[in-house]
Amino acid sequence: MILRKALQENFPIISEPELIEEIMKVAYIHEMDEDDILIDINENIKNLPLLVEGSVKILREDENGNEVFLYYVDAGNTCAATLTCCMDSKRSNIRAIVEEKAVFLTIPYQYMDIWMGKYKSWREFILTTYSLRFEELLKAVDQLAFKKMDQRILNFLNEKSNLLNSKIIKISHQQIAYDLNTSREVVSRILKQMERENLVKINRGQLELLE
């Protein structure tokens, strides 16, 4: 009953009764705490996670081990990069870290392709996920290629604020620097300038968005 309720409340697009019954037979429910690694780079992915509570941060890593933030996954969604790895039997090319305590369903990867040809609502879910995440990846590329660091920081804070539904964000300057692949000194300097412009209020261990 818990599985069924979590699925129906968070993934209404998955509506076919036969598909729901199949998911009930093979899915498991899991919990992970903040900062736990849900999926790591080069990991052999055997299950697709469907997030029903909390949020997950998706990061990419270069050959030097530097990470950059791509996007968040919140309740009612999954990660398109993980979908691709599941369907193509590839190792993970992203790192997924729990941002807020997460509850998720896992579905064995072998059902991904089977259900694509069998259930219309599953196809719609997969294609919608790809479309949404592609738009978010384009935004991430735009941020990296065309935006100055102050714009990237403000956009990052706004996304996090929307995710948490709060203007108060508990995060360190070092964590922002880590996610945006820059230095803590640069982040601190820009945040101080943003505070002078009444965009943010800096407190110990947290920031408050003023606009």
DSSP 77: B
Burial grade of 185 (CB within 10 A; 0-12, 13-18, 19 or more): exposed
C-alpha separations of 10 from 3, 4, 15, 24, 165 in Å: 11, 10, 11, 15, 18
8 A C-beta contact, residue 48 and residue 155: no
Domain that residue 10 falls in? 2-144
Same domain (yes/no): 165, 68: no
Taking residues 108-115, what's their average pLDDT? 89
| 173 and 139 within one domain | no
- In this predicted structure, the answer to whether residue 62 has a pLDDT above a threshold of 90 is no
Q: For 131-162, what is each residue's pLDDT tens digit?
A: 887 787 777 777 766 678 898 899 899 989 98
- 13: amino acid identity, one letter: I
- Rounded alpha-carbon distances, angstroms, from residue 202 to 79, 141, 164, 205: 32, 28, 18, 8
Same domain, 75 and 174: no
Looking up residue 12, the CATH number of its domain turns out to be 2.60.120.10
Q: What is the pLDDT of residues 180-206, one digit of tens each?
A: 888 889 999 999 999 999 999 998 888
User: What's the angle, vertex CA 153, arms to CA 203 and CA 182, rounded to 5?
Assistant: 100
